[in-house]
Amino acid sequence: MTQLRIAIQTKGRLNEDSMTLIKEAGIKLQVGKRKLLASARNFPLEALFLRDDDIPQAVADQVADIGIVGENEMLEKKEDVKIVKRLGFSKCRVSLAIPKSEEYPGIEWFNGKRIATSYPVILKDFLEKNKVKADVHVISGSVEIAPGIGLADAIFDIVSSGSTLVSNRLKEVEVALYSEAVLIAPQELSAEKQAILDDLIFRMESVERAKDKKYILLNAPNEKIEGISDILPGMKSPTVTPLAEPGWSSVHSVIAENDFWEIIGKLKEAGAQGILVVPIEKMIF
């Protein structure tokens, strides 16, 4: 039977959210300690655990069929892969940062400076675009300590919460890239594998759609139903069913989490009672 092999980061910033995403798609991976491969019991998917740096190449070389990786990693590696879905987690910036004590007049500050980074490809592109001539030093980890020990004048690295910069007395001065986790695939997959991927994406999207939506149930006297229905955006029109009590109905609909407080207030004003709001697990259209 054909299986789709997905490359996932072994540990680090993307691992946990990647595993959650797969779990929420209803896929049960049997993951052992220190295992390189894990297969699913109830879906034709197999996970291959790799360092994030290695994931773009693994997909390009068909060691894995698809992968979850930071967009920054994908852009840095310039492998022949494409984004099939943006995943919305592990959001970060890839930025230039300089010692806090330095005055920063603008990007020309970087001319002639030494910049330490693990992302030389993205950095060189960015410098070229901004007509800056600087010295790029490639360091594979702990880039943030380079200025403090005199190894560089500045750094180009991932910034997420910003706490690494703060604790190293650095300040972010230019953002080159906004990045997030992405699902990558080769330009082409076999028809069988593509079908599995389509199913996987469909599941992910159903979970995603449900996340910012709530199911709402309320009771109201029949003469108020029309006014209440106008307030509820819903997917289509709300479901209205009569209650045992004559002259009363129950109204069901779906609302966006963001509109929640505004809508609840309006519903009460319009005569709604016994309002119940419950989470939705999945939403299939």
- In the complex with ligand PRP, the residue whose CB is nearer, 133 or 169, is 169
Write the interaction track for ligand PRP spanning residues 152-171; mark x where CB under 6 A is met and - where it is not. Answer: -----xxxxxxxx-------
CA 101/CA 206 separation, integer angstroms: 48
- Part of the chain binding ligand PRP (CB under 6 A), chosen from 41-49, 141-149, 217-225, 271-279: 141-149
> Is residue 68 close enough to count as binding ligand PRP by CB under 6 A?
no
- In the complex with ligand PRP, the residue whose CB is nearer, 15 or 194, is 15
Phi, psi of 140 (to 5 degrees): -90, -20
- Part of the chain binding ligand PRP (CB under 6 A), chosen from 130-138, 139-147, 250-258, 266-274: 139-147
- Part of the chain binding ligand PRP (CB under 6 A), chosen from 43-51, 136-144, 213-221, 270-278: 136-144
- In the complex with ligand PRP, the residue whose CB is nearer, 60 or 165, is 165
- In the complex with ligand PRP, the residue whose CB is nearer, 17 or 205, is 17
- In the complex with ligand PRP, the residue whose CB is nearer, 166 or 276, is 166
Which amino acid type is present at position 139? I
Q: Which of 32, 105, 106, 141 forms a contact with ligand PRP (CB under 6 A)?
A: 141
Sheet holding 45-50, edge to edge: 37-39, 45-50, 4-9, 66-70, 181-186, 81-86
For the bound state, the minimum distance from the C-beta of residue 13 to ligand PRP, rounded and expressed in Å, comes to: 5
Residue-wise burial string across 82-118, b where 16 or more C-beta atoms lie within 10 A, e elsewhere: eebbebeebebbbbbbbeeeeeeeeeebbeeebbbbb
CA 88/CA 187 separation, integer angstroms: 22
Provide the residue count of the chain: 285
Residues contacting ligand PRP: total by CB under 6 A: 12
> Is residue 4 close enough to count as binding ligand PRP by CB under 6 A?
no
Q: How far does Cα 246 stand from its chain's mean position? A: 49
CA 86/CA 105 separation, integer angstroms: 35
CA 33/CA 37 separation, integer angstroms: 10
> Is residue 13 close enough to count as binding ligand PRP by CB under 6 A?
yes
For the bound state, the minimum distance from the C-beta of residue 9 to ligand PRP, rounded and expressed in Å, comes to: 10
Task: Scan for tokens 């994908």, then name that residue.
Answer: 74
- In the complex with ligand PRP, the residue whose CB is nearer, 90 or 249, is 90
Which residues make up the interface to ligand PRP (CB under 6 A)?
13, 141, 143-144, 157-164
